[in-house]
Structure 1
Amino acid sequence: MALRLSLNPQSPEPQVLKRAKELLEAGEIVAYPTETFYGLGVRALKEEALRKLVCLKGRPEKKPFPLIIPDLSWAERLWEEVSPPLKRLMECFWPGPLTLVARAKEGLPPEITGPEGTVALRISSHPVAQALAETLGEPITATSANPSGAPPPRLAQEVEAFFGRSLALILDAGETRGGPASTLALVEGEKVTILRQGPISINELMACLK
């Protein structure tokens, strides 16, 4: 069974994050809490770890994994261009429940870019999720901790029931609040398209860009 470690959801203990980092660096899958549900994290630039995650989730290969990045510098490293609209939206809504999708740089793993050649990024407002990416020092995947088609879990025990034999570690910070997943917005030049409705509306996005 997966190791399950409790930690403070508002101020996660460094020693627990260090253990999670060690397991991620070894290519393992770690479950962690986000603003809404529990997610599954692997090193987002390591294809072997990504393939392991695809097998675990039963996820269609053409549906790329969104990422949580440690800091803004990773947007420049992963997107082909950080356009003025992207910069403004990042300033307005990060950290927060807005995932921004834009053209990816060449050479990134297909599991995170998909057939469209884009990559979806955000900085999380959940202390544990963001601290995990920051402690690792590189992006992690941000896919819900459930088999494709099953309801996303709000409790570590539910993650354990789904995947307990396949995960290295579950970071247990208690029950998450649930609710809608992050707003997913595609930015192409000056055009912004909502791909998934969420906590931030298109009107709020447009107001930010004025």
Structure 2
Amino acid sequence: MSVVEATVESIAAAARTLREGGLVAFPTETVYGLGGDATNERAVAAIFEAKNRPQFNPLISHVPDAATARAFVRWNDTAEKLASTLWPGPLTLVLPRSEGSPIALLATAGLDTVAIRAPSHPIAQALMRATGRPIAAPSANRSGEVSPTRPEHVAQSLGARAPMILDGGPCLVGVESTVLDLSGDMPILLRPGGATREAIEAAIGPIALSDAIPTGDAARKSPGQLHSHYAPSRPVRLEATSVSRDEGLLAFGDTVPTGAMLTMNLSPSGNLGEAAANLFAMMRALDRPGIGRIAVMPVPHTGLGLAINDRLRRAAADDDSNRQR
């Protein structure tokens, strides 16, 4: 763990670390974020691992401006109005993923929407521009702990899990960004935060509140709101130790049953970080015509395995009839 003053040299070093797949904690105007290359599945998996995050909830991807955001999401007039008045700033927009968007599926929890924002902090801006890639960054603390607003908070919470911390002093806003869903017909406030409802409505008119949306046994569409996950159209059978010819097998480890129509291995070496990085892409690859069901081998319930298994349970709709030991 290294807390370093944010200088031109240290920001350049941090940008190199991010481009190489490493993690960097950095200040925004809201809270300190634990950043990784949002286009790199392994880097995103490392964020979940460092935070000991129990679920694969979508992460916010940080960009310097609206022009950059347009490369990753399907921009619309409402987003343009908000960005022109409230970006850069503490407002996150949830928008449909653009075709060919390089944002990692793990960063969006497998959804076809992307949570994106342009922070105003000068150090965050300098880091994003030096990196040249979107930075996925939840708050830089262990899951369930208080969000950090000073570099020492990051060090106390994450220790060596945050190998580099850019020191930008205390955060000015001190609460997380507001999250606004623009992927449907009506803008919906998913999480209140640093951008006020009044400021948002002054720019675009009335918005709906998230409590108007039915909730249930589903995963988060963004930080702060329960909503539907990507779910495969094929049934999912968990804890599979054998496989049928009409099944696609999502394997794990070096001992894999034979006979599946198609097999994809999350990690032949049993590495949970590699498995997390591959999870959503491989689930989508197995969700194809001709495959009757997706069988999933057991994954350990430790470390990132907790999050992997949480996502797999949701994909199987927590239906015990889909499980076989």
TM-score with structure 2 setting the length = 0.59
Answer yes or no: is 1:157 the counterpart of 2:152. yes
Listed as ranges, the matches of 1:29-40 within 5 Å are: 29-40=23-34
What is the aligned-residue identity percentage?
34
| Number of the residue aligned with 1:181 | 176
Q: 1:105 aligns with which of 89, 95, 98?
A: 98
Aligned letter for 2:30?
T
State the shift of 1:145 in Å: 0.6
* 1:115 shift after superposition: 4.3
Q: Aligned partners of 2:47 and 2:68: how far apart in 1?
A: 22
* Equivalent position amino acid for 2:182 in 1: V
Task: Give the Cα–Cα distance (whole angstroms) in 2 for the partners of residues 109 and 43 of structure 1.
Answer: 9
Give 1:178 shift.
5.2
The runs of at least 4 consecutive aligned structure 1 residues that moved more than 3 Å come to none
Shift of 1:201: 2.8
1:59-138 → structure 2 map (5 Å cutoff): 59-79=53-73, 81-106=74-99, 108-138=103-133
Cα separation, 1, equivalents of 2:98 and 2:179: 19
Q: Which runs of 5+ in 1 are unaligned?
A: 8-12
Conservation of the 8 A alpha-carbon contact between 2:64 and 2:88: no
Alpha carbons of 1:167 and 1:198: their partners in 2 closer, same or farther (altered >3 Å)? closer
Please list the CA deviations of residues 31-75 of structure 1 after superposition, one character each: whole Å capped at 9, or x if unmatched. 111113211111110011111111111224431110111332332
What RMSD in Å do the two structures reach over aligned CA positions? 1.8
Contact kept, 8 Å, 2:24 with 2:34, in 1: the verdict is yes
Cα deviation code 1:84-126 (max 9, x no counterpart) = 1111111111011111011113564222212442111111111
> 1:168 is matched with which residue?
163
- Structure 1 residue 156 displacement after superposition: 1.5
Quick one: distance in 1 between partners of 2:54 and 2:68? 26
Amino acid at match of 2:105: P
Kindly name which structure, 1 or 2, has the bigger radius of gyration based on alpha carbons. 2
Q: 1:166 to 1:188 in 2, by over 3 A?
A: closer
Alignment partner, residue 309 of structure 2: none
* Contact 2:95–2:113 (Cα < 8 Å) also in 1: yes
Letter in 2 for 1:172: D
Shift, 1:189, TM fit: 4.8
Corresponding residue for 1:5?
A: 4
Equivalent position SS for 1:19 = helix
Question: Aligned residue pairs: how many?
Answer: 203
Secondary structure of 1:27's match?
Answer: coil
Instruction: For 2:200 and 2:32, locate their aligned partners in 1 and report how far apart those are by CA, in whole Å.
Output: 26
Cα distance in 1 for partners of 2:161, 2:194 equals: 32
Task: Report what 1:10 is aligned to.
Answer: none
Of 34-43 and 153-162, deviating more is 153-162
**Partners of 2:54 and 2:65 in 1: CA distance:** 28
Matched, 1:14 2:13: no
TM-score with structure 1 length normalisation? 0.89
In structure 1, what is the equivalent of residue 200 of structure 2?
A: 205
